[in-house]
Amino acid sequence: MKNATLRQLKTFETVARRLSFSRAATELHLSQPAVSTQIKHLEEHAGVPLFEQLGKKIFLTDAGKEMARHAREIIDRFNQVEQILAQMKSGFGGCLKIGVVTACGYFFPRLIAEFRRRNDGVKLEFKVGNRDELLRLLEANEIDLAVMSESPTDSRICVESFAPHRFVVIAATDHPLARRARISRAELANERFILRERGSDTHAAMENSMPDVLDKLADTIEIPNNEAIKQAVMAGLGISFLPASAIELESRAHMLNVLDIVGLPVVRQLKITRLAGKALSPVANAFKSFLLEEGASLIARADMGVHAAPYAMQIAAAA
């Protein structure tokens, strides 16, 4: 392997990730024959096949799987060295590549703005999506860190909790339950629920914290967008389970009510999620430390300002 090149490793890593020579060629802006040649040369250096073809599909051999793991580590290390050298020339900087679940989009820009205020020269690649989308971006090495509350139990994923994340049940202001106190969870089964889609952080939070309610719902509507869900609730189409941060403005304007449900709000933990073994860039490490040390206090200071007496009492009880 002493004659293998970084270019061959990068080409191999892309094919291994995509499991397609044509898709790898498109991503690398190369011709498919050029990609095939790079892989052929690397296999000659390795002395064993790295891929096998079954029908029209290609798969990694056992040797290929081992090579892919080490190739990613080598490429990550090389990228880290490049970034460190660039920073030595121009001071602290680099590109922060981070993704957050949709619910965090309501407050997370404030944290990023504060971090960039303290660290001049930081560039930003900021993606917002549902939980499954962010996990795919992590796996594809398109982001360094992802923030979510419902991370998978997977040895390939490292998680670190840094702040509480509250979920509530909301209804239109004229909904009959909006005038009730201490509503039992059993009563919710009789309501039409407007839910976030499967694969979202919010849906996973409800699955994990309120299975007794979710399993008994007979009438549900799935909408993959918080803003559309809020409009549907205000229109009287049903009630919903959403992050408290998502309804800040509507609560202040008395356009939505937080229902006083026994055992709510659900309090989960926001987690910094990353691939195990990935060498984080200096700027990603600095941002991770920033979240762990100050994320919770900065989010609390921002104060979601949800105006509902039952909600305030529940928050106090959960604290």
Task: State the CATH number of the domain containing residue 279.
Answer: 3.40.190.10
Q: Are residues 151 and 287 in the same domain?
A: yes
Q: Are residues 292 and 154 in the same domain?
A: yes
Domain region containing 96: 90-163+270-302
* pLDDT at residue number 266: 93
Q: Is residue 196 in a domain? A: yes
Q: Are residues 24 and 13 in the same domain?
A: yes
Nearest C-alpha neighbor of 122 from the set 284, 279, 275: 284
Angle made by CA atoms 86, 25, 41, in degrees to the nearest 5: 85
Q: Are residues 24 and 173 in the same domain?
A: no
Q: Are residues 20 and 67 in the same domain?
A: yes
Averaged in consecutive runs of 10 residues, what is the pLDDT profile of the chain (319 residues)?
85 94 94 95 93 93 94 88 66 79 91 90 90 93 94 88 96 95 93 95 94 93 96 97 93 94 93 90 91 93 49 40
pTM: 0.68
Nearest C-alpha neighbor of 106 from the set 319, 273, 270: 270
* pLDDT at residue number 86: 67
Q: Are residues 43 and 98 in the same domain?
A: no
219 DSSP 8-state letter: S
Q: Is residue 291 in a domain? A: yes
Q: Are residues 277 and 157 in the same domain?
A: yes
Give the CATH number, domain containing residue 312.
3.40.190.290
* pLDDT at residue number 307: 39
Helix axes 32-46, 62-90, angle to 10 degrees: 110
Q: Is residue 191 in a domain? A: yes
> What is the total count of domains within the chain?
3
Q: Are residues 257 and 170 in the same domain?
A: yes
Q: Are residues 174 and 225 in the same domain?
A: yes
Q: Are residues 288 and 155 in the same domain?
A: yes
Backbone angles phi, psi at 301, to 5 degrees: -65, -30
d(CA 202, CA 103): 8
Q: Are residues 185 and 124 in the same domain?
A: no
Encoded amino acid at 231, one letter: Q
